[in-house]
Copies of this chain bind each other. A is one copy, B any other.
Amino acid sequence: MSSNNLYNHLERLSELLRTDLRKSGIGHGLQPVQLEVLHYLSVCNRYSDTPLAVTEYLGQTKGTVSQTIKVLEQKGLLLRRTDTEDKRVSHLGLTAKGSKLLDRLVPPPMLTNACDNLSKKARIQINNALQQLVMAMLKSNGMKSFGVCHSCRYNGRSADGEYYCNLVQQRLSVDDVQRICREHEAAA
């Protein structure tokens, strides 16, 4: 009953956003999912830029994601390089072209317009609510949170005060800790 009400809004929101994304992308031959992948790659960190991470993030199968990535690569919107330590894994990154296109198309106009019509306070409230809902959905279904390193329990400081990840045991730059990570676990 309570989740039913929520569902009403969420479903519509989701469908409207998708349609708008589709309209944005179509002029450039891009599908909604493709824009989502590009967007993910623009906000993830260097441990999370692999096909598998995209798979976990989107909740699709690896086969599906593999195809999407292939197309984006062929379009020259992203580049892949094989990991130096584990030759099974690829790292993906936007090309300048991909990055530029993403900036123009995302967020789609409908959302941008909506935000222009909302007060700053309202935007913050909505943002918090959405975040809370995403968290709840992920947590209650045993999925990865993909939070930023900054809020991760593995995030610490090295002896000289630099950011340090206790999981992968490496230093993180200021840029790193603001990106989302597939290994993220909320601090206790």
Contacts and interface: CB of A to CB of B under 8 A. Distances in A.
A112 to B, nearest CB: 5
Interface residues of A, number: 59
B126 A140 contact: no
Please tell me how many copies of the chain the complex holds: 2
Contacts of A141: 109-110, 113-114
A13 B126 contact: no
Given A5-B127, A6-B130, A132-B122, A13 B14 contact: yes
A132 to B, nearest CB: 6
Contacts of A123: 2-3, 6
A107 B57 contact: no
Interface string A42-72: 0100000000000001111000000000000
The secondary-structure label for the interface of chain A is helix
Interface stretch (A15-23, A73-81, A90-98, A152-160): A15-23
Interface in A122-174: 122-123, 125-134, 136-141, 143, 146
A43 B8 contact: yes
Given A132-B122, A136-B117, A11 B17 contact: yes
Given A111-B3, A133-B126, A10 B12 contact: no
Contact of A134 (B3, B12, B107, B131): B12
Interface of A: 2-20, 36, 39, 43, 57-60, 106-107, 109-118, 120, 122-123, 125-134, 136-141, 143, 146
23 contacts: A3-B112, A4-B107, A6-B115, A6-B126, A6-B130, A7-B39, A8-B43, A9-B127, A10-B13, A10-B17, A12-B146, A13-B137, A14-B14, A16-B134, A114-B140, A117-B136, A117-B139, A117-B140, A118-B136, A122-B132, A125-B125, A126-B129, A126-B132
